[in-house]
Structure 1
Amino acid sequence: MSDPILKLEGVFTNIAQYHILQGVDLEVPRGAVTMLLGRNGVGKTTTLRTIIGHWRAHQGRVMFNGEDITSTPTPTIARMGIGFVPEDMGIFSDLTVEENMVLAAVGGPINSARLDWIFTAFPPLKTFWKSEAGNLSGGQKQMLSIARAMVEERQLYLIDEPTKGLAPAIISTMARALKDLKDQGASILLVEQNFAVARALGDSANVMDDGRMVWSGDMAQLGSDAELQERLMGLSMETH
């Protein structure tokens, strides 16, 4: 794989006494959607949080655009062009939708064309623009969480389970927005448990188990091979 935008080399991450990541190797190509898959608790979220600097690798390297960011502070990593959508959404409930978005636009005022695109992708955000984020529904809060990462054009988006617990109609909205982002040429590393979404969006896939990467390849190959899915993750996409 030539010139990946992101590369993890032998990354170990410990949290307290727990050894979560145990030598993770990962490459994320430019302009594509890379899926990070696996059972619950195998280290997917820890991988994303290690990349963004919330947790520190105890061994190994995290490389972004060829630069070692393993020990770089999180705010600096964000300014380098990496957007992060955490599983817990990370929005400010006592601020309005507008205030949440403005805070995320670290470069200054929100670009009007970018905001129009976000409103097209997530119409409820325009409707509730002046409302406190805490009053939004769960699906609307997730829209806001993703929109905050999209408010500025990033080189790389790290997105952790954006469709978790959402109704099918909201999942479809999320998938369309991520497809639009992909079509704009964005590089995305996506943790996703909804395999219909993973299969529709993913270009490549990496499967984790017990803090290690156990398989890497084309998403289309994984999506069409029920036996491989069962062996790697204990389930078949055909039933999800």
Structure 2
Amino acid sequence: MSDLTRDASASDPILRIEEVYTNIAQYHILRGVNLDVPRGGVTMLLGRNGVGKTTTLRSVIGHWRAHKGRILFDGEDITEMPTASIARSGLGFVPEDMGIFADLTVEENMVLAAVSGPIDAARLDWVFEAFPPLKTFWKSEAGNLSGGQKQMLSIARAMIEERKLYMIDEPTKGLAPAIISTMAHSLKDLKNQGASILMVEQNFAVAKALGDTANVMDNGRLIWSGEMAELASDEALQERLMGLSMEAH
């Protein structure tokens, strides 16, 4: 499927973005984005730098307000909903800038992220298994962690409770290969649990390994939607849609 028309059988997505326009100051960033995120699996949002991928995620969570269009999450219109209410409705967001509290301990960061109540012990054990350094530095201030450990904490904060949808913005950016491998393994485990994930990723190898469906943006619009396997198998299509900014290794 190389156009933007979704088949009618792909009904009832966990997230639906309809003709969304988002402006930041005098800049028109999103110019009519239409995107469906299916229930279950990983939906990749790809494209060159600066085409509107982060703005799309931030428009969904309410950090930046859509000036036009509609955003439906689990069937509910959240376009004008406050960010805190969107989060409480079951949407976990991992921003590119990590979004952790540097002056609080790892434990305190995790407790604050558990919006439904006390942390479930079994869920915490799973997080520790996915990211062992968090257990090691449980009582340490988050600001003292390495860059990779901070990114682990950022993702763990979203994963500490089961969410209807996880939106993750460039989780492997700037990380060493060993940390990228750990990150990818944990996200694959989350996917295998049946989670729905919308993910922005510049490392095409990671996108190819994790993604089920793919959406490519350019100039504030979606220009291609289809199966990740289709995009991954067509190098000419990759180059035409995304150029050389995508990491091929």
**How high is the TM-score relative to the length of structure 1?**
0.98
Task: Report if the CA contact (8 A) 2:30-2:56 is conserved.
Answer: yes
Rate the CA distance shift 1:72–1:148 in 2: closer, same or farther, 3 A.
Answer: same
Task: Report if the CA contact (8 A) 1:196-1:237 is conserved.
Answer: no
| Superposed displacement of residue 64, structure 1 | 0.8
Q: Structure 1, residues 103-162: CA drift from partner, whole Å, max 9, x if none? A: 000111100000000000000000000000000000000000000000110000000000
Rate the CA distance shift 1:92–1:79 in 2: closer, same or farther, 3 A.
Answer: same
Structure 2 gaps, min length 5 = 1-9
What one-letter code is carried by the residue in structure 2 that aligns with 1:90?
A: G
**Correspondence for 2:86:** 77
Q: Structure 1, residues 69-90: CA drift from partner, whole Å, max 9, x if none? A: 1000000000000000000001
SS at match of 1:61: strand
Identity of aligned residues (%): 81
| Superposed displacement of residue 236, structure 1 | 8.8
What one-letter code is carried by the residue in structure 2 that aligns with 1:31?
A: G
**Correspondence for 1:53:** 62
Task: Report if the CA contact (8 A) 2:48-2:245 is conserved.
Answer: no
Structure 1 stretches (4+) deviating beyond 6 angstroms?
Answer: none
2:163 to 143, 154, 169: 154
Task: Report if the CA contact (8 A) 1:12-1:60 is conserved.
Answer: yes
| Superposed displacement of residue 237, structure 1 | 6.8
**Correspondence for 2:121:** 112
SS at match of 1:134: helix
Distance in 1 of aligned mates of 2:200 and 2:248: 19
SS at match of 2:103: coil
Residue 172 in structure 1 maps to residue 181 in structure 2 = yes
Task: Report if the CA contact (8 A) 1:230-1:236 is conserved.
Answer: no
What one-letter code is carried by the residue in structure 1 that aligns with 2:156?
A: A
**Correspondence for 2:41:** 32
SS at match of 1:71: coil
What one-letter code is carried by the residue in structure 2 that aligns with 1:154?
A: R
Task: Report if the CA contact (8 A) 2:49-2:245 is conserved.
Answer: no
Task: Report if the CA contact (8 A) 1:226-1:238 is conserved.
Answer: no
| Superposed displacement of residue 53, structure 1 | 0.5
1:20 to 29, 32, 36: 29
Equivalent pairs counted in the alignment come to 240
Rate the CA distance shift 1:238–1:76 in 2: closer, same or farther, 3 A.
Answer: closer
SS at match of 1:9: strand
**Correspondence for 1:133:** 142
| Superposed displacement of residue 239, structure 1 | 3.6
What one-letter code is carried by the residue in structure 2 that aligns with 1:147?
A: A
**How high is the TM-score relative to the length of structure 2?**
0.95
| Superposed displacement of residue 66, structure 1 | 1.4
